[in-house]
Amino acid sequence: MVLERTSIPLYWRDRGIKYRLLGGECKSCNRRFFPYRKVCPHCGSTDVNKVNLPRRGRVVSFTVVHNAPRGFEYYTPYVIALIELKDGTRLLSQLTDVEPDEVREGMEVEMVIRIHRTCGESWLIAYGYKFRPVLKK
């Protein structure tokens, strides 16, 4: 099967596969964090479980990037936001499907899978999570 450049996410979406946001949950201090790691960043405990985090949250704060690192120049200007998920877990993410001047603190956002970048001459495509304004309530 030959896949078009942008059809990989659509292919998996059509198969009904949900993308997960995999975080950690500490059994010692009961806090959650992202991304998952074997040691709790809050208390140092190694008693940590993997947990699927909520895919929705709100923008706590944000900044607009005008001078991007190599590989991300295409997206400038773009927004990096501190997002608080529905369960209180905070993470940093690029926002997509929104203009920088439309972003507001408190804006509801949801996770989506998007192209992060293409790698050099190989055109290897790196996919990852981004957040966009919530389309449906």
Q: State the nearest-atom distance from the C-beta of 84 to Zn ion, in Å.
A: 18
Could you give the strand order of the β-sheet that contains 48-52, starting from the edge strand earlier in sequence?
A: 32-33, 22-26, 48-52
Site for Zn ion in 68-107 (CB under 5 A): none
Amino acid at 60: V
The smaller minimum CB distance to Zn ion, of residues 23 and 111, is found at: 23
Q: Are 133 and 108 in contact (CB under 8 A)?
A: yes
Q: State the nearest-atom distance from the C-beta of 44 to Zn ion, in Å.
A: 7
Binding mask 13-52 for Zn ion (x = CB under 5 A): -------------x-xx----------x-xx-x-------
Which residues are within 8 A (CB) of 47 and not within 5 positions of it... i.e. 6 or more apart?
A: 26, 27, 28, 40
Tell me: does residue 53 bind Zn ion (CB under 5 A): no
State how beta strands 108-119 and 56-65 pair: antiparallel
Binding residues for Zn ion (CB under 5 A) = 26, 28-29, 40, 42-43, 45
